[in-house]
Amino acid sequence: MLVIRRDLVDAMVAHARRDHPDEACGVIAGPEGSERPERLVEMINAERSPTFYRFDSGEQLKVWREMDAADEEPVVIYHSHTATEAYPSRTDVSYALEPNAHYVLVSTRDPEDHELRSYRIVDGVVTEEPVEVVESYMFANTGADDIPDCR
Amino acid sequence: MAINVSIPTILRTHTGGQKSVEANGSTVAEIINDLDSRHSGLKDRLVKEGNLHRFVNVYVNDEDVRFVGGLDATVSDGDSVTILPAVAGGMR
CA–CA gap between residue B46 and residue B57 (Å, rounded): 9
Taking the Cβ of residue A128 and every Cβ of chain B, the question of whether any pair is shorter than 8 Å is answered with no
Residues of A in contact with B66 (CB under 8 A): 57
How close, in Å, is residue B27 to chain A by CA atoms? Answer: 20
Cβ contact B87–A95 (<8 Å): yes
pTM of the model: 0.90
In this structure, what CATH number is given to the domain that contains residue B50? Answer: 3.10.20.30
Overall number of domains in chain B: 1
- Is B10 a domain residue? yes
Asked whether residue B91 is domain-assigned, the answer is no
Q: How many CB atoms lie within 10 A of CB A37?
A: 25
Range of the domain at B56: 3-85
On whether any CB of chain B is under 8 Å from the CB of A97, the answer is yes
Check: complex ipTM more than 0.90: yes
Q: What fold is seen in the domain A2-134?
A: Cytidine Deaminase; domain 2 (3.40.140)
- Does residue B20 belong to any structural domain of this protein? yes
The residues with which B24 forms a beta bridge, in sequence order, are: B2
Q: Which of B36, B37, B38, B28 is nearest to B3 (CA)?
A: B28
Number of helices followed by number of strands (H, E) in chain A: 3, 9
Q: Do A57 and B66 touch (CB under 8 A)?
A: yes
Q: Mean pLDDT over residues A14-32, rounded? A: 97
Averages of pLDDT over each 10 residues, chain B, 92 residues: 91 94 96 96 94 96 96 95 96 76
Where in chain A are the domains?
2-134
Q: Cα-Cα-Cα-Cα dihedral of A49, A51, A56, A61, to 10°?
A: 160
To the nearest whole Å, the CA of B71 is away from the closest chain A CA by 16
